[in-house]
Every structure is written in structure tokens, then in C-alpha cells.
Amino acid sequence: MTQARIAVLLALDDLAGHPSADEILTAMAPAGLSVSRATVFNALDDLSKVGLVMRADAGPGAVRYETATSYHHHFVCNVCGRVTDVPCVDSSAICHEPGSIDGRVDGAQVVFRGTCAACLPPQR
């Protein structure tokens, strides 16, 4: 475990929600560790491979990351872009059985899209 990987993991853990690599890099600046953008991406990739970090699939745009806890889905607000966790019913890496696939499935993600409660217009 390198200092850069530890710093990335600590920054990710300190940030709320599902930050991008650039947001993680920005959060690391006050700690005084000077790393490149590529180093952050490489650290996130390495941490993902060993199961300490998960990619949060939020659709188009920057890839989002979170510390690995349990498998879950995501809800993305179409208005503000906020990403929130939605628990899987059975908490496994593959929450839904795929159709016919020529190969091995290692994981699956479902992204729910809509309008979060904060962005919904007031009810009359």
C-alpha cells in the first residue's frame, strides 16, 4: 500500500456521496500530498481491484467512486445529479440474473433515474 493509495482512500472516505477522481484530487490538496491526476486514477483502479473501492455507475459523465461496503444500486436525480445508494434485495455482486451471456459475470449494477425528493415540486 503506497502513500498515494492511502491518501486516495482516506480522501474518498472523508468525502460524502460518490465523488469523481477530480473531486478526490481536490480534497487531497489541503493534506499537502502532491500527486498527479493520473496517480489518483491509478490508485482508484488498484483499490477497486482489491475490493476497497467500488465504482458507482451513474451513467454519462465522470466515473463516481465510493468506499466498498456492500453491493447496492444507485438512484440518480435527473434534476440535480445527486447519486444515492439503493440497497440490493439480496446484497450480492449480481443482484439480477442475466440472460444468455458467453462468459462469466462478475458483477452487475442497476441505476434508477428520476427526481429526488428535494427537487420535486411542492404538492398542493
pLDDT, one tens digit per residue, over 51-103 is 899 888 777 778 899 987 777 788 889 898 888 888 777 655 555 666 667 77
Question: What pTM value is reported for the model?
Answer: 0.74
Which pLDDT value is given to residue 82?
A: 86
Q: Do residues 56 and 64 touch, judged by C-beta distance below 8 A?
A: yes
The structural domains of the chain, ordered by start, are 1-68 (1.10.10.10), 70-118 (3.30.1490)
C-alpha cell, 39: 496517480
* C-alpha torsion 55→77→113→40, nearest 10: -10
